[in-house]
């Protein structure tokens, strides 16, 4: 077998062409329109002046190409600017507290408005819209939608307050960024679902949606900046498809034969797309083909193409597609493949038959096929296969470029034209409407370079070429520019609706926070004043109560002796003179205990007063809970007799024997009785005092009298005194003990100590309660201050959010206006002759 495969060139190592996407600043100084057209070059001055002025087709085409290049560049810049805006939103969502989020209506009536306005929200949808969907215009006409989103009667939506109802309606118009949620089989409104989600979760969903949009913008950028446009040439067997390609190229590239010779799709491209190298790449799997990866194709020598194709037909080779890179030697304005604005690749396909019709129809439906050229033989008209293909393709490609070839073989040309146009009318009404530009009766075989030999191409073929180029440009507008424009309009409309709704909500939240701040300030000041006032009153009340308790305790304890003296007569039994000493002991013990009881009584009274005062204190602080008061009272020191030194008191009250004779002053006979008393007492007085007593009596009555009356008188007096002492002993002892107690109270520190102790306990309780109240006030004030700090931060964030969303809106608005200015609809598609 002849080797038609050539050695692989180093083209695979060629530098990878990188589609750098410059980030466009959104500064007003760098408006999209002012950016240089760096992507698609406009026709050069040389090229512009080189086209033949006398050729109206060329002139018109030149203008079309200029317009197309301009639109492409504007759209490319707008895609980049929009992408920059979306990335800015995403970045802000991560770094700033004011996230762009999908607003939910808290007000059910507003939610109802939103849901009614958008039946789609009730739809049980799967997830987000597909990219295909979002390239399509929304239900509203573009102009109307853009107007609705961006303008108000005053010219600027932010000049007038937009009611929430209209916001709800506008949110229902979201296209690209609409979060379409689904829960089970229930037709739950989006708004309800969204309200159930955390704000962060919504922001996350929206972020994912924006990220998806950024990717889609990248794809659109690639599509718009891709200068290549594919033209599929199909038709019946032997209709002259390969001949037409060769005639258009003005080179014999593809083999031409009477018998079927094209059995695979042959794409003819400009060699510039292969680093300027002419080459044929035979591809087994078109999906994995990569021009820079030699493993994905086999190189075929262009001179042996015919042999290779025959081998494919004969089954010696098994390939699905050919890429033929060849140099177009025609001038820029004449070249179909490479004209500076759009690079056209011609794809010759196998002739249609029952087996290939569906494959070719599928191929024609591919997104990158901009134009389908159907070649029909003037001799055969439309065959069944041809009709079947056109019916299949009609849904996708409403306009088909039809070349009626081999027209030279027809004698009755008018009749042929009439019959074929009639057939076209049946097969593709749209094509028939524009038959003047879309249906061409030519003889490609007469236009081959070997026939022309450097001469002029026939006028009908020239017209075919220009119409084809014009048609490709128009289709490119529709297939590449229109989706980009529609998508940009959709995404920018969504961004402006979202930013405006976020701005409104931020403004509402800001107003709310400001109001709260405004309302909170007097409350805060009032708390500060109240704290000072209450604590001052508490101090005063506590001090007054302490003073009262102190004086009350002192008075009660000081005056307690009389009561104690009266009480002991019933409490201490008198068991006769023989038990006088025991009686005396009992007296001091009982008196000391009674005094302790009196101290306890003072404590109880102090507690009551303290409790009442604590109540008053808490009432002052408007504190209903009094739980702490009873707790506070336990702080009172336990009544402990040892604390008031009862033992010591009892010792202080102990009687001496002389205390028994406190009656002597009253009677004046104390000295007489003294001797007798000594006899009754087991506890004798000193002799010195006894002799002294006797001497006193002698001096008073005289010696003789004394001698005469002495014995009886002394005896009688002694007896009387004895009786008196015996009778008064009980009371005398009580009085004496009470006197001692009184003297002890008056001269000692016991009353002072007890009053101080009780008052100190009370003061401690007051202090603890005052501390508690102060603490509560402190907490209240701290809570106020914390809340105020949060509100101030929220207000600051809110202010910045309002500014930020306003700026986003302005940017989206400005970009949308630029996008709207790019007219992608070709108003007059006709090529004027």
Ligand X SMILES: Nc1nc2c(ncn2[C@@H]2O[C@H](COP(=O)(O)OP(=O)(O)OP(=O)(O)O)[C@@H](O)[C@H]2O)c(=O)[nH]1
Binding interface with ligand X (CB under 6 A): 237-243, 256-258, 260-262, 351, 405-406, 408-409, 443-446
Do strands 401-405 and 439-441 pair parallel, antiparallel, or not at all (unpaired)?
Answer: parallel
**Cα dihedral value 124, 127, 132, 133, nearest 10:** 40
Closest separation in Å from C-beta 254 to ligand X: 7
DSSP, res 458: P
Closest separation in Å from C-beta 403 to ligand X: 10
Closest separation in Å from C-beta 255 to ligand X: 7
Which C-beta is closer to ligand X: that of 446 or that of 626?
446
Which C-beta is closer to ligand X: that of 239 or that of 510?
239
Which C-beta is closer to ligand X: that of 445 or that of 798?
445
Which C-beta is closer to ligand X: that of 376 or that of 613?
376
For the record, the structure tokens of 41 come out as: 């070059």
Closest separation in Å from C-beta 351 to ligand X: 3
* Nearest in space to 674 (alpha carbons), one of 656, 659, 655, 661: 661
Which C-beta is closer to ligand X: that of 4 or that of 407?
407
Integer Cα distance of 696 and 44 in angstroms: 162
DSSP 3-state assignment of 248? helix
Which C-beta is closer to ligand X: that of 312 or that of 507?
312
Query: 558 and 744 in contact (C-beta within 8 Å)?
Result: no
For the beta carbon of residue 497, count every other beta carbon within 10 angstroms: 27
Closest separation in Å from C-beta 342 to ligand X: 24
Closest separation in Å from C-beta 406 to ligand X: 4
For the record, the structure tokens of 524 come out as: 């805060």
Integer Cα distance of 778 and 786 in angstroms: 12
Closest separation in Å from C-beta 329 to ligand X: 21
Closest separation in Å from C-beta 21 to ligand X: 41
Closest separation in Å from C-beta 409 to ligand X: 5
For the record, the structure tokens of 621 come out as: 């602080």
Query: 140 and 150 in contact (C-beta within 8 Å)?
Result: no
Integer Cα distance of 741 and 719 in angstroms: 32
Closest separation in Å from C-beta 410 to ligand X: 10
Which C-beta is closer to ligand X: that of 374 or that of 487?
374
Integer Cα distance of 617 and 386 in angstroms: 105
Which C-beta is closer to ligand X: that of 3 or that of 258?
258
Query: 661 and 670 in contact (C-beta within 8 Å)?
Result: yes
Which C-beta is closer to ligand X: that of 84 or that of 240?
240
Which C-beta is closer to ligand X: that of 253 or that of 745?
253
Integer Cα distance of 224 and 75 in angstroms: 8
Integer Cα distance of 554 and 559 in angstroms: 8
Query: 341 and 69 in contact (C-beta within 8 Å)?
Result: yes
For the record, the structure tokens of 543 come out as: 């001090």
* Nearest in space to 70 (alpha carbons), one of 32, 25, 120, 114: 32
Assign 3-state DSSP to the chain and report helix, strand, coil percentages, each to 5.
65, 5, 30
Which C-beta is closer to ligand X: that of 342 or that of 404?
404
Closest separation in Å from C-beta 348 to ligand X: 7
For the record, the structure tokens of 216 come out as: 């889609």
Closest separation in Å from C-beta 376 to ligand X: 10
Integer Cα distance of 174 and 496 in angstroms: 10
Integer Cα distance of 373 and 360 in angstroms: 12
Integer Cα distance of 271 and 301 in angstroms: 14
Which C-beta is closer to ligand X: that of 351 or that of 798?
351
C-alpha triplet 395, 400, 401: angle, nearest 5°: 170
Closest separation in Å from C-beta 225 to ligand X: 33
Which C-beta is closer to ligand X: that of 94 or that of 459?
459
Closest separation in Å from C-beta 248 to ligand X: 12
Closest separation in Å from C-beta 268 to ligand X: 13
Query: 300 and 281 in contact (C-beta within 8 Å)?
Result: yes
Query: 105 and 168 in contact (C-beta within 8 Å)?
Result: yes
For the record, the structure tokens of 351 come out as: 């002739």
Which C-beta is closer to ligand X: that of 300 or that of 762?
300
Which C-beta is closer to ligand X: that of 234 or that of 423?
234
For the record, the structure tokens of 485 come out as: 């424009």
Which C-beta is closer to ligand X: that of 445 or that of 483?
445
* Nearest in space to 113 (alpha carbons), one of 189, 161, 165: 165
Which C-beta is closer to ligand X: that of 360 or that of 423?
360
Closest separation in Å from C-beta 346 to ligand X: 12
Closest separation in Å from C-beta 445 to ligand X: 3
For the beta carbon of residue 249, count every other beta carbon within 10 angstroms: 23
Integer Cα distance of 79 and 77 in angstroms: 5
For the beta carbon of residue 326, count every other beta carbon within 10 angstroms: 19
Integer Cα distance of 163 and 166 in angstroms: 6
For the record, the structure tokens of 613 come out as: 């005062």
Query: 210 and 86 in contact (C-beta within 8 Å)?
Result: yes
The CA distances from residue 131 to 214, 216, 219, 636, in Å, are 12, 7, 10, 81
For the record, the structure tokens of 777 come out as: 């006030």
Query: In sequence order, which residues have a C-beta less than 8 Å from that of residue 208 and are 6 or more positions away?
Result: none
């Amino acid at each position: 077998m002849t080797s038609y495969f050539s050695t692989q060139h180093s083209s695979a190592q060629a530098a990878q062409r990188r589609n750098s996407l410059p980030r466009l600043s959104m500064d007003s100084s760098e408006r999209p329109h002012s950016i240089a057209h760096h992507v698609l070059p406009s026709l050069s001055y040389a090229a512009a002046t080189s086209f033949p002025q006398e050729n109206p087709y060329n002139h018109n085409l030149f203008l079309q190409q200029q317009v197309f290049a301009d639109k492409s560049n504007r759209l490319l810049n707008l895609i980049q600017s929009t992408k920059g805006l979306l990335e800015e939103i995403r970045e802000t969502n991560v770094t700033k507290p004011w996230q762009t989020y999908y607003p939910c209506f808290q007000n059910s009536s507003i939610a109802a408005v939103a849901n009614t306005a958008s039946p789609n929200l009730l739809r049980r949808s799967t997830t987000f819209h597909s990219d295909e969907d979002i390239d399509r215009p929304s239900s509203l006409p573009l102009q109307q939608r853009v107007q609705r989103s961006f303008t108000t009667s005053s010219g600027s939506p932010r000049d007038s307050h937009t009611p929430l109802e209209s916001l709800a309606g506008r949110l229902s118009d979201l296209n690209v960024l609409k979060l379409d949620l689904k829960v089970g089989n229930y037709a739950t409104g989006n708004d309800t679902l969204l309200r159930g989600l955390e704000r962060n979760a919504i922001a996350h969903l929206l972020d994912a949606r924006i990220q998806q949009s950024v990717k889609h913008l990248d794809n659109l950028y690639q599509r718009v900046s891709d200068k290549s446009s594919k033209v599929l040439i199909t038709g019946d067997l032997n209709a002259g498809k390969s001949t037409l390609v060769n005639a258009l190229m003005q080179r014999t590239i593809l083999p031409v034969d009477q018998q079927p010779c094209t059995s695979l799709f042959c794409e003819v491209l400009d060699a510039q797309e292969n680093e300027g190298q002419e080459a044929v790449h035979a591809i087994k799997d078109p999906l994995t083909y990569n021009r820079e990866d030699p493993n994905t194709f086999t190189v075929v020598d262009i001179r042996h193409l015919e042999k290779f194709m025959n081998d494919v037909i004969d089954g010696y080779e098994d390939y699905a597609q050919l890429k033929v890179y060849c140099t177009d030697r025609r001038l820029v304005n004449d070249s179909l493949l490479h004209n500076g604005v759009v690079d056209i690749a011609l794809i010759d396909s196998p002739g249609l038959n029952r087996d290939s019709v569906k494959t070719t129809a599928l191929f024609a439906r591919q997104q990158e096929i901009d134009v389908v050229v159907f070649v029909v033989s003037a001799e055969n008209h439309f065959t069944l296969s041809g009709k079947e293909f056109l019916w299949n393709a009609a849904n996708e490609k409403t306009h088909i470029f039809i070349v009626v070839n081999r027209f030279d073989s027809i004698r009755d040309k008018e009749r042929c034209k009439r019959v074929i146009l009639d057939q076209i009318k049946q097969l593709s009404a749209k094509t028939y409407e524009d038959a003047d530009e879309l249906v061409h009766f030519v003889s490609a075989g007469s236009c081959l370079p070997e026939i022309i030999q450097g001469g002029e191409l026939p006028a009908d073929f020239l017209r075919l070429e220009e119409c084809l180029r014009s048609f490709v440009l128009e289709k490119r507008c529709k297939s590449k520019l229109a989706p980009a424009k529609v998508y940009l309009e959709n995404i920018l409309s969504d961004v402006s609706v979202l930013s405006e709704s976020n701005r409104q909500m931020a403004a509402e939240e800001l107003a709310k926070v400001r109001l709260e701040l405004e309302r909170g300030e007097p409350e805060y000041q009032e708390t500060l004043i109240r704290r000072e006032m209450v604590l001052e009153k508490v101090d005063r009340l506590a001090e007054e109560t302490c003073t009262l308790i102190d004086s009350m305790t002192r008075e009660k304890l000081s005056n307690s002796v009389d009561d104690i003296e009266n009480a002991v007569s019933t409490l201490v039994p008198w068991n006769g003179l023989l038990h006088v000493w025991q009686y005396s002991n009992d007296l001091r013990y009982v008196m000391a205990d009674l005094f302790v009881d009196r101290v306890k009584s003072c404590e109880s009274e102090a507690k009551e007063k303290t409790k009442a005062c604590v109540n008053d204190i808490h009432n002052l602080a408007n504190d209903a809970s009094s739980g702490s008061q009873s707790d506070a009272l336990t702080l009172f020191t336990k009544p402990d007799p040892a604390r008031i030194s009862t033992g010591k008191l009892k010792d202080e009250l102990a009687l001496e024997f002389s205390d028994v004779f406190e009656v002597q002053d009253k009677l004046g006979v104390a000295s007489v009785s003294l001797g007798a008393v000594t006899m009754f007492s087991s506890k004798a007085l000193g002799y010195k005092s006894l002799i002294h007593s006797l001497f006193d009596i002698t001096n008073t009555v005289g010696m003789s009298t004394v001698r005469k009356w002495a014995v009886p008188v002394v005896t009688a007096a002694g007896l009387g005194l004895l009786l008196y002492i015996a009778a008064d002993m009980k009371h005398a002892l009580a009085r004496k003990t009470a006197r001692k107690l009184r003297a002890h109270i008056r001269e000692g520190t016991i009353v002072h100590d007890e009053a101080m102790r009780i008052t100190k306990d009370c003061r401690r309780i007051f202090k603890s309660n005052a501390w508690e109240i102060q603490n509560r006030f402190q907490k209240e004030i701290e809570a106020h201050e914390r809340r105020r700090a949060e509100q101030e931060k929220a207000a600051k964030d809110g202010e910045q959010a309002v500014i930020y969303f306003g700026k986003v809106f302005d940017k989206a608005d400005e970009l949308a206006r630029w996008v709207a200015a790019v007219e992608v609809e070709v108003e007059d598609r006709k090529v004027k002759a």
